[in-house]
Structure 1
């Protein structure tokens, strides 16, 4: 079997090759999305995407496998480091069973380590988890911290095997949000354009976090305001008109999993402002209720600084057996020095901003 590979660059031909591979193998990507994700990213670093050409050559490429890492700045124990997320990974059906997944992942990991990337993390699905954890040396940090806040009772019951036959009895029964209570002097705004006040809020919010994507203004503008084909909203509470930002919530709504799903992309609030975080989240829950969402989902660890607001607003841990998709959470460090930090689940902060599917 001829064995060669190329690294994705900014050329139109390579991007077309990348896109056509996914299109032919049942997982279509738009050219705009691929360019946004890998070539126009938040960091000025080259993409770590390898295209295996085991069925062809450089002159006549037949892509056999793709392994892709996306690099970004992370905060680790208070310092900025370069980390990466494992995203688009696939082997063409006719090349499966030949060890290409391990081969090209190892090639990418070696280059990543040589270029100063400290670790790779991600959320393998049920089909690929075995390869990541048993063959690529990833450490499990399961479970993914799904939180759920039901709205449509029938939507929820329809997903409980024992009670499914009774779901029609609850058609139209919906769980409202708790009253939205904002103290006098505060100002609430929808779709706040991020500025230095957000940066200041994030700087304070992250102080108790061990490991996280650096959610600075630059990252947020790339992630939420330039992603092709997506619409995200936010709501924010300020201490008076033109005052300090006390809390902000990012969210979106999608038709997925057989219904209308509201996703809380992230929730942040200042130290000592949990009441404001709770009020803001109740406001967002009410907006999504009025938009006819069936269910709300979030990712938040119970040790995260925003967990208390979620708890107060009726979000519950989502049992793994009821989740719409099987996902795992894991990491592999590229240096022994950083491994004890990133391999400890208690150090991590993640939200739906870390997901590449929402």
Structure 2
């Protein structure tokens, strides 16, 4: 018999075991503790399927403080929804999801959001009452086109010859590059102090809807991440913090055999356009120093300073990441903010996969 119930202390051992079986990962209990229990906005709400003492399903909402207009409210990000293969197509996923919504609203969460796979998106829209806000476009800035071509041609000389006209076309498509006008002082950040709270208070009114970038959030999400070592640079001008950029690099295999080094702009916040330009110039120096092949970033349509990132060299790819939202309350005043793509400022720091 399957019983749906909230999380109890000690359930994490079975939850992690189910996660690793469903998603073919090797997650540890320590990682789970960091992700689900240590957020500065409280532990995640979890609805579990218990089959005679065995966890067979889960739906969660990870609380995040969201800037919505002039207010701050709690949103809940849906992550790690899963059901054991022997219990699928029995309605457990939908029932667990609705139970997680009930638990979440009791703890103050106003809306649910997430980045579902294409396979899960249809169920969210049709069965759970969610709405698709955006197919977040993935943008790319190409650094080493010749290396990518050489993997397929197995000749460095020929690859450089063939990649040259393509590089010219990319340069032509990108148009004239823009450059920062100020001379910033850049510092690498290992820990986010109170000056980041002061900076967030200065700039948050520029972003109608976004996750709060308080120091507590940045320390939990970036500085204290248990498995990823991010690179963060802060920009200073006239002795004052003007913005920061969080970077990630990783090696991935293309077609299972061609290794590529990929960079990602995980987060970037600046007080004005020139700060964005200066931050990416610093990021580009870093990425070139570690020899990445290309850099990825999210740029939503209408996103604050999104056009600036495009001018810096990012071109749109065919890849998309669905972003879906559901209001869990009867308060319709937040709808204009959470359902409007142009109000959102989304970066990969939002997603647990980065």
Q: Same fold by TM (over 0.5)?
A: yes
Shift of 1:158: 9.2
Equivalent residue, structure 2, for 1:95: 87
Report the secondary structure of 1:228's partner residue: coil
Shift of 1:47: 2.5
Distance 2:316 2:70 in 1: 29
Could you say if the C-alpha distance between residues 86 and 171 of structure 1 is closer, same or farther in structure 2, counting changes exceeding 3 Å?
farther
Could you say if the C-alpha distance between residues 158 and 309 of structure 1 is closer, same or farther in structure 2, counting changes exceeding 3 Å?
farther
Equivalent residue, structure 2, for 1:268: 269
Distance 1:82 1:199 in 2: 18
Equivalent residue, structure 2, for 1:350: 346
1:135 equivalent among 120, 123, 127: 127
Equivalent residue, structure 1, for 2:104: 112
Equivalent residue, structure 2, for 1:6: 5
Distance 1:39 1:341 in 2: 28
Distance 1:230 1:356 in 2: 11
The RMSD of aligned alpha carbons is: 2.8
Equivalent residue, structure 1, for 2:76: 84
Distance 2:189 2:39 in 1: 23
Report the secondary structure of 1:293's partner residue: coil
Distance 2:275 2:298 in 1: 20
Residues 202 and 268 in structure 1, CA contact (< 8 A), matched pair in contact too: no
Aligned runs of 1:194-343 on 2, under 5 Å?
A: 194-240=192-238, 243-256=239-252, 258=254, 259-271=260-272, 274-319=273-318, 323=319, 327-336=321-330, 337=332, 338-343=334-339
Distance 2:159 2:150 in 1: 10
TM-score by length of 2: 0.86
Structure 1 unaligned blocks of 5 or more? none
Shift of 1:46: 4.0
Number of residues paired by the alignment? 335
Residues 178 and 312 in structure 2, CA contact (< 8 A), matched pair in contact too: no
Distance 2:147 2:101 in 1: 42
Report the secondary structure of 2:262's partner residue: strand
Shift of 1:117: 1.0
Residues 155 and 294 in structure 1, CA contact (< 8 A), matched pair in contact too: yes
Shift of 1:191: 2.6
Residues 237 and 280 in structure 1, CA contact (< 8 A), matched pair in contact too: yes
Q: Does residue 159 of structure 2 align to residue 170 of structure 1?
A: yes
Distance 2:303 2:131 in 1: 21
Shift of 1:257: 5.3
Could you say if the C-alpha distance between residues 111 and 181 of structure 1 is closer, same or farther in structure 2, counting changes exceeding 3 Å?
closer
2:115 equivalent among 123, 126, 132: 123
Shift of 1:152: 2.2
Distance 1:282 1:167 in 2: 31
Shift of 1:246: 1.7
Equivalent residue, structure 2, for 1:146: 138
Distance 1:183 1:237 in 2: 11
Residues 191 and 219 in structure 2, CA contact (< 8 A), matched pair in contact too: no
Shift of 1:181: 5.8
Could you say if the C-alpha distance between residues 215 and 181 of structure 1 is closer, same or farther in structure 2, counting changes exceeding 3 Å?
closer
Distance 2:155 2:119 in 1: 30
TM-score by length of 1: 0.85
Structure 2 unaligned blocks of 5 or more? 172-176, 255-259
Distance 1:293 1:79 in 2: 40
Q: Which is worse superposed, 165-174 or 92-101?
A: 165-174
Distance 2:155 2:135 in 1: 28
Distance 1:47 1:88 in 2: 11
Runs of 4+ in 1 over 3 A off after TM superposition: 154-159, 164-169, 171-176, 178-184
